[in-house]
Amino acid sequence: MSNNGSASEAGESAKHSETVPAHDHDLRYGEGGGDVKIEAIDVWKTFSARGGKKKKGNSLSTEALGGLNLSISRGEFHVIIGPSGCGKSTFLDLVAGLTTATEGTVLIDGKPVAGPGLDRATVFQQYALLPWKTALGNVEFALENLVKDSKERRKIAAEYLDLVGLKDFYGHHPFELSGGMKQRVAIARALAVGPDVLLMDEPFAAVDALTREILQHDLLRITQESGKTVLFITHSIDEAVFLADRVSVMTARPGVIKEIVPVPLTRSERLSDDIKASDAYVSTRHKLWELLNKEAAAAADVSG
């Protein structure tokens, strides 16, 4: 994405020039541009033990999030990393509308999230496929309440299976597919409903290293072509650097955003080159490792 925008865009760029390095896209906002798609404002999430009260500081409750603030732009691929138990998945669930914040607000397009919606689709680490349905049938199932015509549903399902590289596996059941193939079906199912936002909670954690790299490349290509906004949770620093426009590093519980690190590599560069030996990749990875290592030590102290 080139920096040939209007005078207002130039002014916005100048506003952040002291903190953001120059590159071929606005690293503060990601390759999607400056329009905010997802916003979290002072978000707290407290889980109560049985019989406890949902009140911050109560000894019977656990604070997962401690006043998290974050803005993600439209079309951005945003990755969150952090130590175990810091609230990464909790925040994703809040964006998905699967749970509600104890305090604070999560907004999509400026409107508070009030529950699950067709504008968002979630891909989990577990494939969650229906074992009695084929790959095509699993994707079709997600469309049953959206597309009345069965032929049209099948056509859409086939298109998205083709997109994720499963053209020859329409009739295969989940037990006949590898782990990577099952996750491709899950991604196709999520994309088929036409969401603006794709939420992904460690979707590649259960597959082998080679399959994981292939899936990362495919996901980056698909999101590049579709312009989807992606919020992606991972424990892998390498995965974060390869996929993200920006990476948010969370603190130990109660989690907040410690620092947001722009990735100074375009998606085209990541897709076309072996960039893991590049200075930009190595330096970004090292910075994230330093930030995460400190928070992992803090999380160990808390749990200990």
The domain spanning residue 106 has which CATH number? 3.40.50.300
Structure-token pair, residue 2: 């080139």
Cis peptide before 254 (omega within 30 of 0): yes
User: CA 82, CA 193: separation in Å to the nearest integer?
Assistant: 30
Are 70 and 83 found together in one domain?
Answer: yes
E strands present in the chain = 36-48, 61-73, 77-81, 103-108, 111-112, 120-123, 197-201, 229-233, 246-250, 257-262
Are 96 and 170 found together in one domain?
Answer: no
Helix axes 179-192, 150-163, angle to 10 degrees: 130
Q: Report whether pLDDT(192) > 90.
A: yes
- Strand, coil or helix: what is 17? coil
Are 179 and 210 found together in one domain?
Answer: no
Q: Report whether pLDDT(303) > 80.
A: no
Please choose, from the candidates 65, 15, 68, 60, the residue with its C-alpha nearest in 3D space to the C-alpha of residue 38.
68
- Per-residue confidence (pLDDT) for residue 291, from 0 to 100: 94
User: CA 60, CA 67: separation in Å to the nearest integer?
Assistant: 19
Are 83 and 104 found together in one domain?
Answer: yes
Listed residues 174, 194, 214: the one ending a domain: 194
Are 143 and 282 found together in one domain?
Answer: no
> Does residue 28 lie in a domain region?
yes
Per-position b or e across 47-72, b if 16+ CB within 10 A of its CB: eeeeeeeeeeeeeebebbbbbbebbb
> Does residue 165 lie in a domain region?
yes
> Does residue 6 lie in a domain region?
no
> Does residue 73 lie in a domain region?
yes
Listed residues 163, 194, 225: the one ending a domain: 194
Q: What domain count does the chain have?
A: 2
> Does residue 295 lie in a domain region?
yes
Are 111 and 131 found together in one domain?
Answer: no
Q: What angle do CA 259, 219, 114 make, to 5 degrees?
A: 65
Are 38 and 102 found together in one domain?
Answer: yes
User: CA 197, CA 9: separation in Å to the nearest integer?
Assistant: 24
Are 173 and 249 found together in one domain?
Answer: no
Read off the pLDDT of residues 240-264 as tens digits, 9 standing for 90 and up: 999 999 999 999 999 999 999 999 9
User: CA 75, CA 72: separation in Å to the nearest integer?
Assistant: 9
**Band of residue 50 on the pLDDT scale cut at 50, 70, 90:** low
Listed residues 171, 194, 217: the one ending a domain: 194
pTM of the predicted protein model? 0.84
Are 110 and 207 found together in one domain?
Answer: yes
**Band of residue 177 on the pLDDT scale cut at 50, 70, 90:** very high
User: CA 112, CA 101: separation in Å to the nearest integer?
Assistant: 11
> Does residue 14 lie in a domain region?
no
Are 251 and 164 found together in one domain?
Answer: no
Are 296 and 175 found together in one domain?
Answer: no
> Does residue 7 lie in a domain region?
no
Q: Please name the residue that has the structure tokens 């990875």.
A: 285
- Per-residue confidence (pLDDT) for residue 5, from 0 to 100: 44
- Name the residue range of residue 142's domain: 126-194
Q: How many CB atoms are located within 10 Å of the residue 251 CB?
A: 21
**Band of residue 33 on the pLDDT scale cut at 50, 70, 90:** low
User: CA 237, CA 284: separation in Å to the nearest integer?
Assistant: 9
**Band of residue 296 on the pLDDT scale cut at 50, 70, 90:** confident
Q: Report whether pLDDT(49) > 90.
A: no
- Strand, coil or helix: what is 118? coil
User: CA 293, CA 179: separation in Å to the nearest integer?
Assistant: 30
Please choose, from the candidates 243, 223, 224, the residue with its C-alpha nearest in 3D space to the C-alpha of residue 233.
243
User: CA 95, CA 91: separation in Å to the nearest integer?
Assistant: 6
> Does residue 1 lie in a domain region?
no
Are 161 and 262 found together in one domain?
Answer: no
